[in-house]
């Protein structure tokens, strides 16, 4: 009898090898990641897709079983993050709380915010509120992971406790830490979203596509997180597979445009395409700012304007970023660079005027068209090459058919 117990403790009921155990842990944690990105994030928090009740209930059960997370809490905290992004009220912004805090204590920040009744009331609307949610998933949130621990130990013996620990740490590390931390601190940006979101990697495999965080913050209601041809969102691949069998229906995707011939004047189609793709416009504008700064540095070096070199160099990291997300010191560096360069000054000033085209919600379509047309005329007459190129490109914008 004791020998039987030792055999079970050492190998479990399945008598699995080490690689089989590792594969099991990887598959189960990946299903958990897929459940978070498809159900909690895209379907529940942002209503980017509709899920068939069968798929929805599977994801709810799996998340209860493997994480103990309550749908309403997760959704409310995430929606508040978007509504209050990079402010003191953001539940987990590395900009206000520090990257170390979010990386190492992301799960603690989540638990603390989940106890905020005002957050749940204001941002948790529309989440499941059926009998199962009230009497099982929310009421006995941690009993699910307790059952998972029992199952892991039964299947794999003593090592099953380690498998369970990996399953428990997967979401706190990758979602609460990496996505909420690194996703607002490091990576590349396709779009000039009004926050510090970055794409951690162009290939969203390990975290279900959530690596494409800047894309998501730019188009939060899109069911698809990849936007460039070379980016891959495995979460979207799963959604497509679910849609093929009738278990999911995407509601919204990122806007698209095509470049046609340069129009003599800005028309309503141009206005429509520019406003729909304004974050792409601002990203290109940011790239032109960086290119212009580089040219100004070269000019200052050639002309021996040594006094301007340190001023321009100090602004290199911040010159393309939205003014609203810069700290006071960074804004001062950008302003000093603008004072040292008429071209940069003109570009920065006209960027704020361009943003005003889509920010003035009190104007009708014709008034907005005239404002954009006026901006284009002044940009092309400014004598600044970057402004002229930006204007000519915008006059080629056409909504994708």
Predicted local confidence at residue 70, as pLDDT: 95
Please state the separation of Cα 256 from the chain's center in Å: 18
Predicted local confidence at residue 373, as pLDDT: 95
Task: Please write the tens of the pLDDT for every residue from 259-301.
Answer: 889 988 899 999 999 998 898 899 899 999 999 999 999 988 8
Predicted local confidence at residue 237, as pLDDT: 98
Predicted local confidence at residue 11, as pLDDT: 65
Integer Cα distance of 218 and 72 in angstroms = 23
Predicted local confidence at residue 183, as pLDDT: 92
Name residues of the chain where pLDDT drops below 50: 4, 6
| 348 touches 342 (CB < 8 A) | no
Containing H/E element for 62? helix 53-66
Residue 258 φ/ψ, nearest 5 degrees: -130, 155
Instruction: Give DSSP secondary structure letters for 224-252.
Output: ----STT-EEHHHHHHHHHHHTTSEEE--
Angular region, 157: left φ>0, alpha ψ -120 to 50, beta rest: left
CA-closest candidate to residue 314, choices 288, 340, 291: 340
Integer Cα distance of 220 and 45 in angstroms = 9
Angular region, 115: left φ>0, alpha ψ -120 to 50, beta rest: alpha
pTM of the model: 0.85
Q: What are the contacts of 61-65 at 24+ separation with CB within 8 A?
A: 61/137, 62/31, 62/32, 62/35, 63/32, 63/35, 63/36, 63/39, 64/136, 64/137, 64/141, 64/144, 65/144, 65/145, 65/147, 65/148
Tokens of 168: 């428990």
Side-chain-side CA neighbours of 218 within 13 Å: the count stands at 27
Task: Output the CA torsion 355→387→196→212 (10° steps).
Answer: 100
Q: What is the chain's alpha carbon radius of gyration, rounded to the nearest angstrom?
A: 25
**Can you name the residues that pair with 204 across neighbouring β-strands?**
233
| 196 touches 325 (CB < 8 A) | yes
Predicted local confidence at residue 325, as pLDDT: 78
Task: Please write the tens of the pLDDT for every residue from 190-210.
Answer: 988 888 899 999 999 999 999
Predicted local confidence at residue 78, as pLDDT: 96
What pairing do the DSSP bridges indicate for beta strands 248-250 and 257-259?
unpaired
Predicted local confidence at residue 164, as pLDDT: 95
Tokens of 193: 């979203």
């Amino acid at each position: 009898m004791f020998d039987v117990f030792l055999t079970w403790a050492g190998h479990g009921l399945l008598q699995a090898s080490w690689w089989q155990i590792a594969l099991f842990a990887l598959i189960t944690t990946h299903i958990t990641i897929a459940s978070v990105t498809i159900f909690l994030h895209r379907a529940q928090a942002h209503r980017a897709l509709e899920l068939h009740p069968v798929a929805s209930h599977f994801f709810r059960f799996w998340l209860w079983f493997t994480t103990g997370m309550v749908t309403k809490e997760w959704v409310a905290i995430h929606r508040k993050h978007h509504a209050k992004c990079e402010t003191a009220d953001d539940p987990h912004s590395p900009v206000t709380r520090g990257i170390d805090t979010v990386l190492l204590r992301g799960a603690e920040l989540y638990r603390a915010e989940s106890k905020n009744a005002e957050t749940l009331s204001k941002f948790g609307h529309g989440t499941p509120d059926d009998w199962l949610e009230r009497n099982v998933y929310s009421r006995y949130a941690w009993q699910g992971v307790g059952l998972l621990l029992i199952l892991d130990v039964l299947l794999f013996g003593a090592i099953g406790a380690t498998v369970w620990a990996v399953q428990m740490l997967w979401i706190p590390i990758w979602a609460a830490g990496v996505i909420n931390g690194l996703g607002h601190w490091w990576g590349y940006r396709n779009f000039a979203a009004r926050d510090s979101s970055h794409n951690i990697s162009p290939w969203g495999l390990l975290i279900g596509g959530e690596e494409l965080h800047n894309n998501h913050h730019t188009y939060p209601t899109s069911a698809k997180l990849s936007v460039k041809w070379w980016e891959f969102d495995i979460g979207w691949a799963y959604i497509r597979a679910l849609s093929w069998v009738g278990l999911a229906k995407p509601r919204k995707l990122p806007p698209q445009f095509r470049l046609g011939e340069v129009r003599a004047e800005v028309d309503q189609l141009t206005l429509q395409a520019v406003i729909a793709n304004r974050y792409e416009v601002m990203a290109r504008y940011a790239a032109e700012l960086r290119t212009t700064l580089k040219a100004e540095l070269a000019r200052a070096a050639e002309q021996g304007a040594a006094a301007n070199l340190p001023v321009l160099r100090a602004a290199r990291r911040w010159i393309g970023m939205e003014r609203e997300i810069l700290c006071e010191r960074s804004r001062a560096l950008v302003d000093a660079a603008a004072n040292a360069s008429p071209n940069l000054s003109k570009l920065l000033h006209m960027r704020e005027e361009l943003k005003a085209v889509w920010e003035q919600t009190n104007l009708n379509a014709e008034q907005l068209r005239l404002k954009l047309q006026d901006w284009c005329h002044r940009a092309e007459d400014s004598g600044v090459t970057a402004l002229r190129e930006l204007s000519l490109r915008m006059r080629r914008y056409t909504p994708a058919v």
